[in-house]
A and B are shown apart, each in its own frame.
Chain A
């Protein structure tokens, strides 16, 4: 029985670590700010949840599991909020995605008109 739990928790921890590495790789590899945010969110959701699941399985029915679940819930709420704050700050300062179609014209009213929209340098 404990062997099965061990195998499951190792699977969760290893795949979570793999998602962390892939997210980090994507963060380096993607071309601009906006796409890098998406690569980070892979680390944020899959990596974090799988690692927490693996650690919960290792800890068993103890108070440590309760703490891990509480940590996971807090990260689950604060993670997207932080991402939203960063993305919103980028939008307000006038940063726009480099690739894609007709992006700037589709935004009728940016929240703060930025006279000096910084150019994205690759």
Chain B
């Protein structure tokens, strides 16, 4: 049953958040609150058949995150230099296409664009994002296409 799994997950989260007291009363109250939350949600009829599909390859997603941290570090350094040096900005709005199939992967791509300082995804349209760059150069197109390919690679098969 999914409800039992949800209750166990809630209780595990409660244990992580509150710390292990090893007191029967406190722990029991935590377990009771987890079970009560699940009972309440069931009564509200919110547990429907709608399942969230996560179409991600966990290993590839992990390595993608490591790569993303590197990109964030590089971009941070670039924007920091831009702030400190005070050279004139070269702002630009441009479109970048995306090739992800699932909503989740598209969100990951758009959020990755925004997470790396220097570029912000402004608007989503079918097949492409509108991106604002603070210090635009022609190589930004290639960099974003590279990131797009990497996000698409994290999508699981089928």
Contacts and interface: CB of A to CB of B under 8 A. Distances in A.
Contacts of A19: 76, 80
A97 B132 contact: yes
A87 B19 CA distance: 39
Contacts of A81: 111, 114
B138 to A, nearest CB: 12
How many of chain B's residues touch chain A, expressed as a range? 35 or more
Given A35-B89, A80-B111, A45 B120 contact: no
A30 B117 CA distance: 14
A103 B80 contact: no
B82 to A, nearest CB: 8
A99 to B, nearest CB: 5
Contacts of B16: 63, 66-67, 70
Nearest to B114: A80
Contacts of A87: 120-122, 132
A103 B83 contact: no
Contacts of B117: 38, 41-42, 44-46
Interface of B: 16-17, 19-20, 69, 72-73, 76, 79-80, 82-84, 86, 88-94, 110-112, 114-118, 120-123, 130, 132, 134, 136
Given A88-B122, A107-B130, 20 more contacts: A25-B83, A26-B82, A29-B86, A34-B120, A34-B132, A34-B134, A35-B89, A39-B83, A41-B79, A41-B115, A41-B118, A42-B80, A63-B20, A67-B17, A83-B120, A91-B130, A97-B91, A103-B92, A106-B93, A106-B94
16 contacts: A26-B79, A26-B83, A38-B79, A38-B117, A41-B114, A41-B115, A41-B117, A67-B16, A80-B115, A84-B121, A87-B120, A88-B123, A91-B130, A97-B93, A103-B91, A111-B123
